[in-house]
């Protein structure tokens, strides 16, 4: 519900979306980017000053609208949270399922999912974000060398006979603590607790750090060897034609990229999980996949790898 904005006390309103309020209540809210918009105001021309004085007008406080949510959020299971989307497309997400009007979409969900993703872009445009145009940059359009790529996955390719079983067994997959893809993530590094012993805490040179106990290291592969293993796997996929390269033909000077990854099934659309492996020799590696829970153990199944490079 909106109210009248007191122009003598406030000139700007800050609001949280419904998703932001949910994250705030659960202690998960992390502010990384803030968008400024003048969508809730209006301008009136003045022949003398160019713009009429707005201090005497009555303004309504900014309110949260459904289209303010532009990013799809998901539960730990990957199921999308409720998303209203754009009225122009008429699609929404409810309990992880796509709805068109008041009917659940149960067929051709892949094509419908594209319309749902378009509604996210429409919601972003409706924010009317305030920004500065780069007058020295001729073209700010975004153009790719390819808009679609396809991989043929069969019982024989890209895996050879005997490489994997017909039905993958989650039970034998490594858990997150021994997963080599997480070895560079701070929360999964080998950090055994230590006890600081010193007779003079002001003198840092004589501080002696003693381990509290002999804690085994779950993942014994070094970071260098781990990187070489990952490179070898990617090289093998490339050698049999399972590597696709997309070039950014036109983009902005800042080249800011926002990516989301989804899996569309017959009746559900889920958001995939991403592991940021970091930068190796000026290349940024991301592992895209799904996390499964097996007997209380979280296990990451890598579906494909994304590499950004200049």
Question: 147-174 pLDDT, tens per residue?
Answer: 888 888 777 777 666 665 556 678 888 8
Average pLDDT over residues 33-57: 76
Mean pLDDT of the chain: 77
Provide the pLDDT confidence category of residue 246 given band limits of 50, 70 and 90: very high
Highest mean pLDDT, choosing among 179-193, 221-235, 280-294: 280-294
- Is it the case that residue 276 has pLDDT exceeding 70? yes
What percentage of the chain carries pLDDT values higher than 90?
6
Q: What is the mean pLDDT of residues 1-20?
A: 66
**291-294-23 Cα angle (round to 5):** 45
pLDDT cut 70: percent of the chain above it: 80
pLDDT number for residue 129: 82
Average pLDDT over residues 303-308: 91
pTM for the full predicted model: 0.73
CA–CA gap between residue 230 and residue 257 (Å, rounded): 24
Q: pLDDT-based confidence at 266, cuts 50/70/90?
A: low
The predicted pLDDT at position 1 comes to: 43
Determine which of 38-42, 196-200, 218-222 has the lowest per-residue pLDDT on average: 196-200
* pLDDT of the residue at 168: 63
pLDDT band at 306 (very low <50, low <70, confident <90, very high): very high
**How far, in Å, are 86, 113, 120 from residue 126 at the CA level?**
10, 20, 10
pLDDT tens-digit map of 121-151: 788 888 888 777 777 777 777 889 998 888 8
- What pLDDT is attached to residue 181? 87
Q: 78-86: which pairs have CB atoms within 8 A and are 24 or more residues apart?
A: 78/263, 78/270, 78/271, 78/272, 78/273, 78/290, 78/291, 79/268, 79/270, 80/269, 80/270, 80/271, 81/19, 81/22, 83/116, 85/116, 85/119, 85/120, 85/123, 86/118, 86/119, 86/122, 86/123, 86/126
Cα 157 from chain centre:
29
């Amino acid at each position: 519900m909106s109210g009248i904005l007191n122009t003598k006390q406030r000139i700007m309103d800050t609001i949280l979306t419904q998703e932001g309020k949910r994250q705030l209540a659960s202690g998960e809210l992390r502010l990384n980017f803030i968008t400024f918009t003048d969508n809730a105001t209006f301008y009136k021309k003045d022949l003398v000053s160019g713009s009429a004085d707005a201090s005497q007008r009555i303004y309504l406080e900014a309110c949260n609208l459904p289209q303010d949510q532009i990013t799809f959020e998901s539960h730990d299971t990957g199921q999308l949270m409720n998303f209203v989307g754009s009225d122009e497309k008429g699609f929404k997400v409810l309990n992880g399922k796509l709805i068109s009007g008041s009917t659940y979409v149960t067929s051709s969900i892949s094509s419908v999912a594209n319309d749902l993703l378009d509604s996210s872009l429409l919601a972003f445009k409706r924010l009317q974000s305030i920004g500065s145009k780069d007058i020295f940059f001729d073209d700010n359009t975004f153009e790719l060398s390819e808009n679609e790529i396809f991989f043929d996955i069969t019982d024989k390719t890209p895996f050879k006979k005997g490489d994997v079983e017909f039905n993958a067994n989650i039970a034998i997959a490594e858990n997150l603590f021994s997963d080599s893809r997480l070895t560079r993530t701070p929360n999964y590094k080998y950090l055994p607790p230590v006890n600081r012993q010193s007779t003079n805490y002001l003198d840092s040179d004589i501080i002696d750090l003693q381990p509290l106990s002999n804690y085994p290291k779950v993942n014994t592969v070094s970071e260098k060897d781990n990187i070489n293993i990952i490179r070898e796997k990617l090289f093998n996929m490339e050698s049999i034609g399972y590597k696709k390269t997309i070039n950014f033909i036109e983009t902005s000077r800042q080249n800011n990229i926002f990516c989301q990854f989804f899996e569309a099934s017959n009746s559900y659309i889920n958001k995939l999980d991403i592991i940021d492996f970091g930068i190796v020799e000026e290349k940024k590696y991301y592992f895209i996949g799904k996390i499964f829970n097996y007997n209380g153990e979280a296990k990451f199944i890598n579906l494909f790898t994304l590499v950004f490079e200049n």
